[in-house]
A = this chain, B = another copy of it.
Amino acid sequence: MDIVLLGSGNVATHLAKALKAKSENVMQVYSRNLINANLLADAIEAQAIDDVSKVDQNADLYIIAVKDDAIESLASALKNVKGLVVHTSGTTDIKVISAHVKNAGVFYPLQTFSKAKAVSFDHLPICIEAEDEKQLEVLRNLATKLSNQVYELGGDKRKVLHLAAVFACNFPNHLYALANQILVENDLDFNIIRPLIAETADKVMSNLPENVQTGPAIRNDETTLNKHLGLLNNMPELQNIYQTLSDSIKLTLK
């Protein structure tokens, strides 16, 4: 397939490399910023462009991997192409694209991407959506080349999944950061809790989290909860988070 990639951020970068590794032909990389376009295009031997009017009109697939609020203007710039135009957003409706182009779809890789770390696509959930079976088949074929976890989801379910992902990824990572803040204030190193973080995640690979909850709140251990709240007296924001999450855990007690 001849593919044009619009975007040069985290999702675009990881997706481009995964496509290249499966010998897909990413012809062009578009970015508003030519330096960024070049950086990614060079890595996958594609053409870099910073003018959307230079997008090849005969590609099979156009992947818009940019910030949510920039998707629509790019879709409208692709209104004359015959190929399939998809976005990679968890929250954006397919209509934001289909309002402008003939063939619209969604190709949403459910993962946290940072430039600092390579990610394998082998088991990476890819959620696809299209408006007819023919286009869905195109996306299914591409997605299954990249990953063995392909989900055909309507927009409503995809948006809920994206919300769940914030709870399962963005919030836990922030809690790791708050833990580190507590450690650093007390001259302790983040290394000391890395095995705990790894095991906490590993445990829910084969169990449901509600069945393996540990800690003072699930034991209704008020003594420890109060000691912890006391230790946070000079960190009111963390104290509030501690109270809020402990209360929520206690709600699950029978």
A residues touching B (Cβ–Cβ < 8 Å)? 10, 67-69, 91, 110-114, 116-117, 119, 123-125, 149, 151, 156-157, 159-180, 182-183, 186-188, 190, 192-219, 221, 223-224, 227-228, 231-232, 237-238, 240-242, 244-245, 248-249, 251-252
Contact = CB atoms under 8 A, between A and B. Distances in A.
B244 A69 contact: no
B176 A204 contact: yes
Contacts of A176: 167-168, 172, 204, 209
B251 A195 contact: no
Top 9 nearest A-B pairs (CB, nearest first) are A170-B215, A201-B201, A172-B172, A176-B209, A167-B179, A168-B179, A177-B209, A164-B179, A177-B210
Contact of A91 (B177, B193, B224): B224
B149 A169 contact: no
A44 B35 CA distance: 63
A165 B216 CA distance: 11
Contacts of A241: 171, 244-245, 248
13 contacts: A69-B221, A110-B196, A111-B196, A114-B203, A164-B183, A167-B238, A171-B175, A171-B241, A173-B212, A177-B210, A197-B205, A201-B202, A240-B244
A201 B190 contact: no
